[in-house]
Each structure stands twice: as structure tokens, then as C-alpha cells.
A and B are shown apart, each in its own frame.
Chain A
Amino acid sequence: MNLRKYLKVYKKFLHTSLASELEYKANILVDLITAIFSLIGSIFLLSIFFKNNGYIGGWKFEQALIIQGIYTILNGITNTWFNPNLTEIVKHIREGTLDFVLLKPIDSQFFISLKKINPSGFLEIMLGFFLLFFCIRINQINLNLTFLTLFLITISCSICILYSLWFFISTTTIWFVKTWNAIEVLRSFLYIGRFPLNSFSFSLRIFFSVFIPIAFITTIPSEVFLGFSVFWKILLEIVVATIFLINSRKFWLFALRFYSSASS
């Protein structure tokens, strides 16, 4: 592993994909409006929930907004990196162009996970941060160093888990060829991340923390944000994220053994 080489290659990736995406400027504007509307829509939905009840799963409206903010940031990251790249895997495998990726003197997982970038997701990430800053004010959170480090640790763990989930499903393309719909299923499950985990019934809570760890993705960072997270939960999230990352790597290498190129 030569870190400098990889950084240099990544710079080239950024340059080429930004150049090609900026061809569709109007498209970026439409995507921004979509992101704003989508945020307004989910806050509207939250306000309906809170109209009849002061607390949902032990969360106040102002606190639940934090989850929305974190979800928006993570969704932006998904739209910027995961979605454009990992849908590309499907294309690579169907058309047999994965051969060219494997032949390159560079790590194949690095190449297919970071090749493309979709700049309209940046705006969504910014939108999420704006909402978070707003939440800091209305919840009167005082910023200090431990809080910031813990928040950064948990959110990067969330990003790792999210990446691994996407990468797992995209890797199964090697066997099933078409996994577009499996990604759609994942997306609809991820939608749950917009709400506090405690607002669901016990069985669903188990399902969303054991089978698909959506609970870890948004709820724990939000709890850290509010300062009522327990230490073992943060530790657990780090462990889960590490397990997911290592397994996504192993699974990719395992799947590659079954890759037989197109029409063979």
C-alpha cells in the first residue's frame, strides 16, 4: 500500500468525475431542490407525529430534529459516493468491464468504491450541517472537545457501516448480476433511520439493531449529540463498524474468486 500513490490517483478520480458531472448543471440544481423538499417533507411528517404527543420514544421534537440532521448528512454522503459508485459495479459486471479494473495495478475495491463522485450530494451534506447547527442552538448544547471527538468517532463509524451495507449488496452482483432492487430494499429500510429507534416496537427494534444495524447509524450519534449516550454503546458501535468493514473486504475478495467475466 502506497498512500501517496492512492492520494494522487484519488485526485485524478475527483477531477474526471467532477468534470463530467458538472456538464449537467441544471441537474445539480434540481437535485438540490429535491434534497430541500425531502427535508421539509420529513420535518412535516415529524410535526404530524408530535402534534398529538409531546414525546416519541422518549425524544422531544427538538431532539428528533438532530436525527433528521444526521440522516440528511449520511444520505448526502450516500448520494455523493456510495450510490454513483456502487451502481457502477452492476454495470461493470454485466458488461464485463470489471476485467479492466482488475488488471489495473491498484486495489480493485478502492477503484470501484471511489471512482465516481456526484457533487449534488455535497449540498445535501451542507443542508444537514445547517440543521445540526440550528439544533445545537435550540437544544442549548455546549460544544467541547470530548463531545466533538465522540461525535466524530460515532459518525465515522456510521459512515463505515453504511458503506459496508452498500458494498455487501453491490458485491452480490457477481452472482446475481442484477441487484438494483436489493439496493432499493436497503434504501427503504434505511428510511427508518429518520426516526428514533425507541419509537418502534420491541421486535422491530431488535431487527433493526441485529440484522440491519440501522439503529447504530443514526440513533447513537444523535444520542452522543445530546450527551446522554452510554459508553458501552459507543464502544459497541466501533466494534460493529470494524466487523462490517473487515467483512466487506473479505467478502469482496471471496466474491472475486467467482467472477468469470462476461460471456464465459
Chain B
Amino acid sequence: MISNLINRKIFTLLKVQYSNMLEYRVEIALWAISGIIPFFMLNIWTNNNLNESLNISDVLLSRYFLCAFFVRQFSVVWVVFSFEEDSLMGKVSPYLIQPLNPFFRYFAQHLAEQITRFPFALIIAFFFFIFNPESIWIPNLGILLLSIVSTFLSFLIQFLIQSIVACLCFWTEKASSIERLLFIPTLFLSGLLAPVVSFPTYVKSWIYLTPFPYLIDFPANLLSGNETNISGGLIMQILWIFLLFPLFKKTWSEGTKKYTAMGS
């Protein structure tokens, strides 16, 4: 009975958000295009033969960056920006009255956006293969499923981190600048611009303890068939989720106690 209710809620939320997202197809296509930085990086890597000392062939490297592009496409999170706007505009108050945590709404929004984004990502990948026909490959089904799972886990980690930052909106008006600060290490350490194996040893010694390499580097390595520790990576991802979730619940409950609606 209860699970049925939750199912129905999630299903309705997804359906509403999906039709909402379909309205903004062009916008989402532009989002997809703005994520092509990994391809420019690949161009620098292969054009200057930087990968020779790493023992990664051109083909494997191009697959890595394509997968990095895909993982990034399906783990983009912007909840803090939506939440900040909603809380400044006073839209959070009606959400709080509803018997549903407002973050479910944002969560459904992100999932629906990913579904809308999927065809555009495929088109970009198609163009990528036209220019790099030698890098076409078909991962086996098990690996594909595992990498979908790890991409989803990466999305969850980022969603939780950003939701914690979003809850700071209850205390400060501009939480999004904190998010922009957090985005910098995500950009440089997650493996979006350079695979983590290429990092100098003084960074590699501690980076695997942080959540960053599990956001893009790990799922991308998994999908592209590069060497990686599968069970270790998945365990670390799940560990980080278990660490972040209570933290989110804590900030949320503290924040809602602190919340005073607009104009009070």
C-alpha cells in the first residue's frame, strides 16, 4: 500500500517533469553541446602525443574522453540554482506544506532532464564516431550495466553534495557561490579534463580518498574498458553516499527549523 503510493508519486512527478522538460528541447540541446570540453581536451592530448608516457593508446584515450562526456552528461546537477531561486522567490513555502520533501521534485526534474538529454548526447557521440571511426567499440552487457549503475551513483553523490549546499540557502542568500567554489575541484580532479592516472603521484596518493575521481574518472574508465578497480570504485561510491545522506538530512532538518518565509 505504502510502496504503491510512493510509486505513484514518483511516477507522477517524473511524468510531469518530463513533459515540462520536453518543452525546453532546444535549451537542453544547448546544455548538451556545452559539455563538449572533454573532446577539446582529447584533441590536445592526441595532437601533442601526451599519452605516450601514460601507456594509453590513442583509441583507448578517445574512448575514455567520450565516456567522460557521457558520464558528465548524465551526472550534471543544478539543484542549488533551482532551490536558490525558489527560496528567494518564496516558492519554497508551498512546497514545504506538501507531504513530500521538495528535493524529490528536484530529483525528478533531473531524471526527466536526463531522459530528454539522452538523444542529443547520442547525436553528439554519433558525430564523434564520424570523426574518429577507429574508436568505435561495443562494451559487453555486464560492463554497460555496471557503468550505468556507477554513473547513477556518481549523479547521486553530486546531487547529495549540492543539496547540502542548497540547504545553506536557509542561512545565506547566495548559496550558489559556494557551489561555484566546489565546482572547481570537481572540474579539475574528477577526470573530466585529464584522466586521473595522468596526475602526479603527490596528488594520486590522496585523491582516491576524496569523492572526486568517482564522479567521472571511475565510471568513464569502466565503460571505456580502461584499467580500473571495479569493486573498489563501487564500494567507495556507495560509502560516500552513506556518508553524505545523513549529513543532508541533518542540514535539511536544521534548515527547515530556521526557515522563515518571505517577508518575516
Residues of A within 8 A of B (CB): 24, 26-27, 30-31, 33-34, 37-38, 41-42, 44-45, 47-49, 51-53, 56-57, 176, 178, 180-182, 184-185, 187-188, 191-192, 195, 199-201, 204
Task: Look across to chain B and name the residue whose beta carbon is closest to the beta carbon of A192.
Answer: B40
Counting CB contacts under 8 A, is B36 at the interface?
A: yes
Task: Look across to chain A and name the residue whose beta carbon is closest to the beta carbon of B173.
Answer: A24
Residues of B within 8 A of A (CB): 24, 26-28, 30-31, 33-37, 40, 43-44, 47-54, 172-174, 177-178, 180-181, 184-185, 187-188, 193-194, 198-200, 203
- Pick the contact of B30 from A52, A53, A56, A184 — CB < 8 Å? A184
Contact partners of A185 in chain B: CB under 8 A: 30, 33-34
User: Is the pair A31, B193 in contact by a Cβ cutoff of 8 Å?
Assistant: no
Task: Look across to chain B and name the residue whose beta carbon is closest to the beta carbon of A199.
Answer: B44
User: Is the pair A184, B34 in contact by a Cβ cutoff of 8 Å?
Assistant: yes
Contact partners of A176 in chain B: CB under 8 A: 26
21 A–B contacts from the bound complex (CB under 8 Å): A26-B172, A31-B177, A33-B181, A34-B181, A34-B184, A38-B184, A41-B187, A45-B194, A48-B199, A48-B200, A51-B198, A52-B198, A56-B44, A56-B48, A181-B31, A182-B30, A192-B40, A199-B48, A200-B43, A200-B44, A204-B40
CB distance from B222 to the nearest CB of A (A): 22
Known A-B contacts A26-B172, A41-B188; the reply to A184 vs B31 at CB < 8 A is: yes
User: Is the pair B200, A49 in contact by a Cβ cutoff of 8 Å?
Assistant: no
User: Is the pair B180, A34 in contact by a Cβ cutoff of 8 Å?
Assistant: yes
Known A-B contacts A52-B53, A181-B34; the reply to A27 vs B174 at CB < 8 A is: yes
Known A-B contacts A184-B34, A188-B35; the reply to A52 vs B43 at CB < 8 A is: no
User: Is the pair B34, A187 in contact by a Cβ cutoff of 8 Å?
Assistant: yes
Contact partners of A41 in chain B: CB under 8 A: 184-185, 187-188
User: Is the pair A37, B185 in contact by a Cβ cutoff of 8 Å?
Assistant: yes
User: Is the pair A53, B50 in contact by a Cβ cutoff of 8 Å?
Assistant: yes
- Pick the contact of B194 from A37, A48, A201 — CB < 8 Å? A48
CB distance from A199 to the nearest CB of B (A): 5
A56 to B184, CA, bound (A): 24
Contact partners of A30 in chain B: CB under 8 A: 177-178, 180-181
A241 to B65, CA, bound (A): 34
User: Is the pair A52, B54 in contact by a Cβ cutoff of 8 Å?
Assistant: yes
Q: Which 5 interchain pairs have the tightest Cβ spacing? A: A41-B188, A181-B30, A52-B53, A37-B184, A184-B34
CB distance from A116 to the nearest CB of B (A): 15
Contact partners of B184 in chain A: CB under 8 A: 34, 37-38, 41
Given contacts A41-B188, A49-B48, A192-B40, 4 further A-B contacts (CB under 8 A): A41-B184, A52-B51, A188-B36, A200-B43
CB distance from B55 to the nearest CB of A (A): 11
A182 to B31, CA, bound (A): 8
A191 to B26, CA, bound (A): 22
Task: Look across to chain B and name the residue whose beta carbon is closest to the beta carbon of A26.
Answer: B172
A205 to B24, CA, bound (A): 32
User: Is the pair A204, B43 in contact by a Cβ cutoff of 8 Å?
Assistant: yes
Contact partners of B174 in chain A: CB under 8 A: 24, 27
Contact partners of A51 in chain B: CB under 8 A: 53, 198, 200
User: Is the pair B34, A188 in contact by a Cβ cutoff of 8 Å?
Assistant: yes
- Pick the contact of A53 from B49, B185, B187, B194 — CB < 8 Å? B49
Contact partners of B199 in chain A: CB under 8 A: 48
A41 to B43, CA, bound (A): 19
User: Is the pair A45, B30 in contact by a Cβ cutoff of 8 Å?
Assistant: no
A204 to B44, CA, bound (A): 10
User: Is the pair A181, B27 in contact by a Cβ cutoff of 8 Å?
Assistant: yes
Contact partners of A181 in chain B: CB under 8 A: 27-28, 30-31, 34
Known A-B contacts A185-B30, A200-B47; the reply to A191 vs B37 at CB < 8 A is: yes
Contact partners of B35 in chain A: CB under 8 A: 188
Contact partners of B31 in chain A: CB under 8 A: 181, 184
Task: Look across to chain A and name the residue whose beta carbon is closest to the beta carbon of B35.
Answer: A188
A38 to B188, CA, bound (A): 9
Contact partners of B193 in chain A: CB under 8 A: 45
CB distance from B138 to the nearest CB of A (A): 27
Contact partners of A204 in chain B: CB under 8 A: 40, 43
- Pick the contact of B181 from A37, A187, A195 — CB < 8 Å? A37
Contact partners of A195 in chain B: CB under 8 A: 44
Contact partners of B24 in chain A: CB under 8 A: 178
CB distance from A47 to the nearest CB of B (A): 8
A53 to B44, CA, bound (A): 12
A124 to B53, CA, bound (A): 35
Contact partners of B187 in chain A: CB under 8 A: 41
CB distance from B169 to the nearest CB of A (A): 13
